[in-house]
Structure 1
Amino acid sequence: MDDKYRQRLEQLENRVALLERNLDLVSAGQRRSSLRSLWRRPPLWTFEQYQPRLLNLNAFKPAPAIPADAPRIAIVTPSYNHAQYLGATIASVTSQGYANLHYHVQDGASIDGTLDLLKSLGGGFSWKSEPDAGQSSAINLGFAGVDCEIMAYLNSDDVLLPGTLAYVANYFTSHPDVDVVYGHRIFIDRDGLEVGRAVLPPHDGDALQYADYIPQETMFWRKRVWDRIGPIDESFHYAMDWDFILKAQAAGFKFVRLPRFLACFRIHDAQKTASTYAVGVREMGVLRRRVLGFDPSQMQIRRAIAPYLTKQLAYHYAHKLSLLRY
């Protein structure tokens, strides 16, 4: 990152932090301060919501029966130097018991023991390790020439929850008009312990133009979407999923948020989301200008997504109070 750009970014972050501090100082009473804090950091984007605890997989709905004419699902995991987490990612897919599955790990010539791990895991998936041009490139390489009906990619530090593939396959089979689906997510730490949850309201196409709220690790789409707008744009290194989503929405494909927890998003120090923040800011700006036709201010973004975040907050507490069960 350019030193001048880094300095400017730090100045902006400091100004935001100062403004938030002043808001807290003038808030009247602890209740109002707490509400304001929730508004600044909605549960949707608050990863560590409580102390780490064991993830109770038995608490979720059992996996539905896999349909006899189960559609072929293709999943690609792009990977680079993630041997620490990759084993859990692979196991979460291969243990689904979904027979009509093509699962491929596309590794970018890792040097951290990933190759030894891949060689030791046996069957149930294919893999290749070779240099690539980044995550987007690895995804495209993994999907090249694949014959399937449903597609998804799962990053090498995230995991699917049990029954996800059967649930998604059943939904697509019974809803032929739906093109893209996604669901609720769970946040886990580096040790696989649960630290938070994101319960989402129904899909909101207007809010999506201002902010990407779709949990990428829970998203599946029909191959006809890929055939129309794919492959992944390799000029994006952070917001490639939002770029793909916005193109799909602009092309008229139908999105549905499923009422189920589908996957876990892992939080750790070395994850891409934290280490490439500046790149993400630039790429998200590019996408907003392309879709909206102008560069919205932070205040304009907040106002545009306020109705969605209000609904998300309601869904969050309804689930927390067991009024909504998934």
Structure 2
Amino acid sequence: MFDQHKPVPLKSMNFNVNAPLPDTRSQIAVVTPSFNQAEFVAQTVESVLSQNEKLLEYVVQDGGSTDNTADVLQKYAGQLRFFSEKDEGQADAINKGFSKTKAPIMGWLNSDDLLLPGALQRVAATFAANPDADVLYGNRLLIDEHNNVIGEWVLPYHDEIVMRHVNYIPQETLFWRRRAWERAGGNIDVNFDFALDWEFILRLCRTGSRFIHVPEFLGAFRCHEMQKTATNFQTRGRQEIANLRRMYRAGGSFKNGIAHARFLAAHRLAHSKACKPVFTSVDR
């Protein structure tokens, strides 16, 4: 969101991972759907395993990759569960992965994205402090193929009216309780390929889930030429978004327009305030 900037090495970022948080011992299930992402999947896996969550359930659900994804993941044997089998697309792979887990907190991480240091500890602590919350999400970094930060996406607050019209929630930072998953149908809709995360978010809203926005960078979204967001948006992406707006009646009313304008203004202000302290020493 907003302008991208000169590439900055991800390792130069200060994530304040030593901030005191309670030891919650929360079980978290993370699923990575994968297909022919050998170039990035090791970095994705390491970003999860480096969280040092002792009660982590981590499943990589591969769709039968024809590159060397399986070879890349062999070195993580014993640290995660890896399954490679034909599926019906990303949503089906996510469903297959979650069917193999039991943890009460859930989230998926695509095979080219990253969790940021301390993300799972922050997720567990936030859920522990907010027992009535069903869903949480944070802010994101945008990174390139070389793990350089090229932009930030800082959200100001959660606004369900706005989220029903435009999906601003960064998927790689989205986590939810299993009770909310089951209440919403217990699946990701396989009829969606581009907007599957937004469809799930809208279903969570419709079934009464309470959302929390965590004002921290929890994940990194990788921008590259072969990502689905870049290749499918003008075709299937636009159609799926239009279908969801019709399904959930996210019309262009005056009230919605005012809420959206207010949110964007707050979004820009939050972005300007939050980004500078994250860099240790950066010429922006």
Match of 1:147 among 96, 102, 122: 102
SS in 1 for 2:66: coil
Specify the code of the residue in structure 2 equivalent to 1:290: M
Instruction: Note if 1:123 corresponds to 2:78.
Output: yes
Distance 1:77 1:63, change over 3 A: farther
| Partner residue in 2 for 1:280 | 237
Q: Are the aligned partners of 1:63 and 1:162 in contact in 2 as well (CA < 8 Å)?
A: no
Rounded to whole Å, the distance in 2 between the matches of 1:135 and 1:151 is 16
Question: How far 1:139 moved relative to its partner?
Answer: 0.1
Specify the code of the residue in structure 2 equivalent to 1:172: F
SS in 2 for 1:152: strand
Match of 1:256 among 202, 212, 225: 212
Instruction: Note if 1:192 corresponds to 2:147.
Output: yes
Count of matched residue pairs? 277
Report the identity percentage.
41
SS in 2 for 1:83: coil
Question: How far 1:118 moved relative to its partner?
Answer: 1.4
| Partner residue in 2 for 1:289 | 246
Instruction: Note if 1:219 corresponds to 2:219.
Output: no
Could you give the per-residue CA deviations for residues 129-186 of structure 1, whole angstroms, max 9, x where no partner exists? 1110000000000011421110000000000011111111011111101111111100
Q: Are the aligned partners of 1:105 and 1:128 in contact in 2 as well (CA < 8 Å)?
A: yes
Distance 1:90 1:288, change over 3 A: same
Question: How far 1:82 moved relative to its partner?
Answer: 0.3
Question: How far 1:66 moved relative to its partner?
Answer: 6.7
TM-score for both structures, normalised by structure 1: 0.80
| Higher mean C-alpha displacement, 51-60 vs 85-94 | 51-60
Could you give the per-residue CA deviations for residues 226-284 of structure 1, whole angstroms, max 9, x where no partner exists? 11112111000111110110111111111111011001000000001011111111111
Could you give the per-residue CA deviations for residues 267-321 of structure 1, whole angstroms, max 9, x where no partner exists? 0000010111111111111110011165x59x99866622211110111112245
Cα-Cα RMSD? 2.2
Specify the code of the residue in structure 1 equivalent to 2:204: A
Distance 1:103 1:133, change over 3 A: same
Normalized per residue, the structure richer in helix is 1
Distance 1:69 1:321, change over 3 A: closer
Rounded to whole Å, the distance in 1 between the matches of 2:240 and 2:276 is 37
Within 5 Å, which residues of 2 pair with 1:77-226? Answer: 77-226=32-181
Structure of higher CA gyration radius: 1
Q: Are the aligned partners of 2:91 and 2:192 in contact in 1 as well (CA < 8 Å)?
A: yes
Rounded to whole Å, the distance in 1 between the matches of 2:136 and 2:102 is 20
Match of 2:222 among 262, 266, 291: 266
Distance 1:160 1:235, change over 3 A: same
| Higher mean C-alpha displacement, 103-112 vs 53-62 | 53-62
Rounded to whole Å, the distance in 2 between the matches of 1:109 and 1:185 is 29
Rounded to whole Å, the distance in 1 between the matches of 2:134 and 2:67 is 38
Higher relative contact order (CA 8 A, sep 6+): 2
Rounded to whole Å, the distance in 1 between the matches of 2:196 and 2:114 is 19
Specify the code of the residue in structure 2 equivalent to 1:291: Y
| Partner residue in 1 for 2:197 | 241
Rounded to whole Å, the distance in 2 between the matches of 1:155 and 1:208 is 21
SS in 2 for 1:262: strand
Q: Are the aligned partners of 1:76 and 1:153 in contact in 2 as well (CA < 8 Å)?
A: yes
TM-score for both structures, normalised by structure 2: 0.91
SS in 2 for 1:256: strand
Specify the code of the residue in structure 2 equivalent to 1:88: Q
